[in-house]
Structure 1
Amino acid sequence: MRPCLLLALATLCVLPACRKSPLLSADPLPDSSRSLATAASPALPAASAPIALPPADLSGSMTLERALVLRHSVREFEPHPMSPAQLSQLAWAAQGMTDATTARRTSPSAGATYPMEVYFATADGVSHYIPGRHAMQRISTRDVRRSLTTQQAVAEAPCVIVLTTVTERTRKKYGERAERYVAMEAGHIGQNVLLQATAMGLGGVPVGGFDGDKAREVLALDKSEEPLYILAIGKPAAK
């Protein structure tokens, strides 16, 4: 059996556990942690410690223009699991902090309200990304990929990224416009991830065809948090 993500990262720094309500405002520096639901994995402790990720590589060799040219939807993947460094880079591209002083991130957010949460589903379980610490917090030991959607690409991808939204964070500031701003932000994050994957020699496909209620149940989210966007990521299968 392959070691779980926590064991793969065992040599890295273990950070203090963090539990916050998903309704907490994301200003200006959230840990983006949510209250853990033990229903996701009955054997998992209610508060598993976040595990620090390797630093993101800020000196990639592929230009943005080249990544734009090469990016295309990939639906068939090699079965190899993702390394901690690869997971770290994808997480950083999605929501990583770019300025510790202002707490700005790699993707824009209306009023810096940051309603989006990022989850990684692999064969070893589900982990939640904490941008303020550049860390992962495991919330389930179950492989939920096949339960998220009927699409084969999601079931077989080594890494499935689920973007969820706690829209109330943005609604508090912008009212009815929040829905539009949240949709925009999800698109920004998705494109960041797809371009970063391309630059890493990986591929991916965005997925919108899934049952939101089922995905919420699979991830053990509360009603304030809505699954919005799925990305299947991995090394393209040899042709």
Structure 2
Amino acid sequence: MNLYYLPLPEAKKTSNLWEVLAIRRSVRSFSREPLTLDELSLILWASQGISDPRRGFRVVPSAGATFPLNIYVVVGEEAIVGGDLPAGIYEYLVTNHALKLVKSGDFREALSSACLNQTFIAEAPVSLVIAAVYERTTGYYGRRGIQYVHFEVGHAGQNIYLAATALGLGTVAVGAFKDDQVKTTLNLTPEEVPLYVFPIGRPKRSLQNYFNDVLKYYLKTRGD
């Protein structure tokens, strides 16, 4: 098994949470500049990382701690600097914060094709794909568990957005894709259902901080 241990996540002193919330946007235009392995490490930790080792809790709430989500990483050629991570498809291993190689090669074009030829997916150096194993949650909660899985993927998706934004990166939540084609590209098991694709890269244009404009807007609506 080809295993790549990620750098341990370290808190970065970047923008505060309130500024990040205001800055967050959906980005579909990426430069060719690679990500660092530290950046990828932090985004993956924000998506599903361990937050309480004693009880196994993660950064994202999960109904009954059933943890139905699996995270896959599609890495392009020369997409990562600051570490030896060849192009390929990887599964994020939550327990030891590592990546397990699924298959080697640059599959960004294949993923873009599966996503109805949205070209920015091929242009981004890296994409995260979130897949769900519904049975982990529905086995405990019955059909109600389907909703709980959808809640959880939304939590994870917003964490990816905020982590990327805090690092000066951009991403967009993509839900338009052919399930079977994504499953084939990533070698997913029959039980795994792809729910989200997040291309991640450096925005061609920096995201703007409109937090002060928001405050002025609220004051104006109040007649102040």
Cα offset, 1:205, TM superposition: 0.6
1:77 aligns with 2:77: no
**Partner SS for 2:11:** coil
Is 1:130 paired with 2:93?
yes
Distance 1:105 1:86 in 2: 19
Q: TM-score normalised to the size of structure 2? A: 0.83
How far off is 1:81 after superposition?
Answer: 2.0
Unpaired runs of 5+ in structure 1? 1-46
What residue number does 2:169 align with?
Answer: 202
Partner Cα distance (1:90, 1:59) in 2: 12
Q: Match for residue 56 of structure 1?
A: 9
3-state DSSP of counterpart to 2:172: strand
Q: Deviations over 1:189-221 (max 9, x none)?
A: 000000000000001111001001110011111
Match of 1:236 among 203, 215, 218: 203
1:114 aligns with 2:77: no
In structure 1, the residue matched to 2:49 is: 96
Partner SS state of residue 126, structure 1: strand
1:31-42 aligned at under 5 Å gives the runs: none
Deviation (angstroms), 1:59: 4.0
DSSP-derived class of the 2:35 partner? coil
Specify the SS of the correspondent of 1:57.
coil
User: Distance in 1 between the 2:145 and 2:181 partners?
Assistant: 24
Aligned residue type for 1:196: A
Unaligned runs of 5+ in 2: 77-86, 207-224
Correspondences of 1:146-225 after superposition (within 5 Å)? 146-148=109-111, 149=115, 150-225=117-192
Rg larger in structure: 2
TM-score, length-normalised on structure 1? 0.78
* Structure 1 residues 125 and 64, CA gap change in structure 2 (3 angstroms): same
CA contact (8 A) 1:107 1:189 kept: yes
* 1:145 and 2:145 are equivalent in the alignment: no
- Partner AA of 1:141 in structure 2: S
Residue-by-residue CA offset, 1:123-154 (whole Å, 9 max, x unaligned): 11111111110111111112222212211121
Contact 1:60 1:199 in 2 (8 A): no
Q: Is the 8 A contact 2:14 2:167 kept in 1?
A: no
**Secondary structure at 2:183's aligned position in 1?**
helix
Q: How many residue pairs end up in the alignment?
A: 192
Q: How many Å separate the matches in 1 of 2:157 and 2:40?
A: 15
How far does residue 58 in structure 1 lie from its aligned partner after superposition? Answer: 2.0
